[in-house]
Every structure is written in C-alpha cells, then in structure tokens.
Amino acid sequence: MPRHFLKLSDLSAAEINRVIDRARALKAQKAALPQPFAGKTLAMIFTKNSTRTRVSFEAGMAKLGGHALFLHGDATQLGRNEPIADTARVLSRMVDAIMIRNDSHRDQQELARNASVPVINGLCNLHHPCQLLADLQTWIEHRGPLAGKTAAWVGDGNNVCHSWIEAAKLLGFKLRLACPAGFTPEADLLAWAGNAVESCADAASAVRDADLVVTDTWTSMGQEKEEAQRLAAFAAYTVNAELMALAKPEAIFQHCLPAHRGEEVSAEVIDGPQSVIWDEAENRLWAQMALLEFLLAA
C-alpha cells in the first residue's frame, strides 16, 4: 500500500524530523542534487489557485530529475463530475504520485483510498501539512531544536492552524492560540492535542515570551463574502511591533503568504528583522522535494 500525506500526523515525529533533515541536506547541496526521479511523474490537481505550492512541487520534481503535470480541476474530467475514485484509478496507472490542492479533505481521502500511488495534500479546508514541513524547517534552521519551545498562533483557527496543532502534539513544543470567538480550531483536534495546545484570551497572552509568532490571512480563498465580518472580528489580532515586543527578544515571525500588510500583520513586522518569511517560502521547495523522496521510496 502507498504512503499518503493528507495531514501532518500521517507521519510520526521521527519521520517528520527525517524529512526535515533531508530537506536541509538537499538545500545545502543545491548545485549537486541527486536525480532519483528520472522517468517519474507527479500529477498536480488544482481546484484552488496557487503560487508556492505549484512552483515548489513542479520545480522540485524537475530538480530531482522528474516531471510534474499541472491539472486544473476545470480542465479535467473532474470538472465534469467524473467520480473521484475513477480519477484516482486512472492517474495511478499513469503517474508515480498525485498532489491535490482543493477545498475538501473528504475528497482527498476518497482519492487516497482509491489510488495505488502516494497522494499528497497540497492544501484543503482542514489541513496544510506541506506548509508545516517548511515552517518547521525554517524554525529549526534559525533557532535549533523545537522541544520545549513556544509558538504563538494569532488569528484564524484555519487549516494552517490545524497543522500547527498537530505539529505541537507530535514534536513536543507548546502552541498558544489566540483566535476570536467563532473562529477557533476544530474541537476534536484540540481535544486530541491535549496540553500541547493552550487557548488564550487575547493575542498578548499568546505572544508573551514566545519563541515564534505566526499568523495567516484573515480571509482565505473562498471566504471573500465574509470579508467585512472577518475584518471586524479580527481587528484586535494584528501582529504589529507592539505585539511582537511581548515575545522573546530573539523571537522570529512567520507567515505562509500571501500576506495583507495592515491587516493580519503590519509592514514593519513582516518586512522587519525578525521576519523569516522569505526563507520560509523558499523552504517549501526543499521540504516538498524531501517529502517526495520519502513517499516514493516507501
């Protein structure tokens, strides 16, 4: 049976660290990369737009000697209501792995159940595990081992937040959450994480003495009709210089991008010396490459 990666907890802590270590090794090599994917193809299904996910997977396959196919949902038979199971069976006979970026974790599970090759979650409504591999890699590169450290999530309890919750539980760091009422993470996931995660009354409580501060856009793709409501609900959750000053002096700032300066983060923070967003964005490439190596060797 193939190994799938639909959520971060599909890997053990040891496997996550193995992928991150390999990502760092590939990044260090750069000009002398191996070519293990000669003759191999990755199918990339997109029903949601993307910059970092598409480029990191497509470039990563090319750098390792393989090829990636961009399949927009509206330009495939999926867009004409072909059953997901049928698409999974057909693609499995033609490619070596499938990456899907869509709105439905349930559809991703259906794809994986019927595929005979690895299926990777490039983003869905509930999880964004590939982003977390890059985020964790970046944190380790800048500040070393994660065990015992504290991360502060400020803003929407969304798919990226869910993957941060899984990371805290698996890797032994503390995650403090500051999310407004009505925008908190899934209750079942919080129960699973137990005391690895602490829900805070406000952003200041979450950020105080944290080693890492992380946020995401308040209005994601598909939520545009909620924008006015969200802007009002999140008004007190902007990561600005005053809030960052409550974290440890050596604390770093992360954002998965794209960002809205002046909303979830101020320009002085995201463009300031504590921000590691460009390293974080680049590491999507190396983390994706290491993940593909891991899954295709499984």
Cα gap 122→241, rounded to integer Å: 32
pLDDT digits (tens, 9 = 90+) for 31-58: 889 999 999 999 999 999 899 999 999 9
* Averaged confidence pLDDT in the chain: 96
Domain 4-128+281-297 in CATH 3.40.50.1370? The answer is yes
Distance CA 171, CA 147 (A): 7
HSE, CB side, 13 Å, CA atoms: give it for residue 11.
25
Contact present, 296 and 28 (Cβ < 8 Å):
no
Catalytic residues: 101, 128, 131, 216, 256, 284
Q: Which CATH architecture has domain 130-277?
A: 3-Layer(aba) Sandwich (3.40)
Contact partners, residue 188, CB within 8 Å, separation at least 6: none
pLDDT exceeds cutoff 80 at 130: yes
Place of tokens 């600005």: 240
Strand partners, 215: 154, 255
pLDDT at 266: 98
Is the pLDDT reported for residue 188 higher than 90?
yes
Which two structure tokens, joined as six digits, stand for 127?
Answer: 């999880």
Query: Is 106 a known ligand-binding residue?
Result: no
Under the banding of pLDDT at 50, 70 and 90, the label for residue 79 is: low
CB neighbour list of residue 1: distance below 8 Å, 6 or more residues apart: none
The percent helix, strand, coil of the chain (3-state, each to 5) is 50, 15, 35
Is 61 annotated as contributing to ligand binding? Answer: no
Q: In this structure, which amino acid lies at residue 110?
A: E
> Encoding tokens for residue 13?
């802590």
Would the annotation count 231 as a binding residue? Answer: no
**CATH 3.40.50.1370 domain span(s) along the chain:** 4-128+281-297, 130-277
3 state DSSP class of 288: helix
* pLDDT cut 70: percent of the chain above it: 99
> For the residues 208-212, what does the mean pLDDT come to?
98
Out of 62-66, 73-77, 201-205, which region has the weakest mean confidence (pLDDT)? 73-77
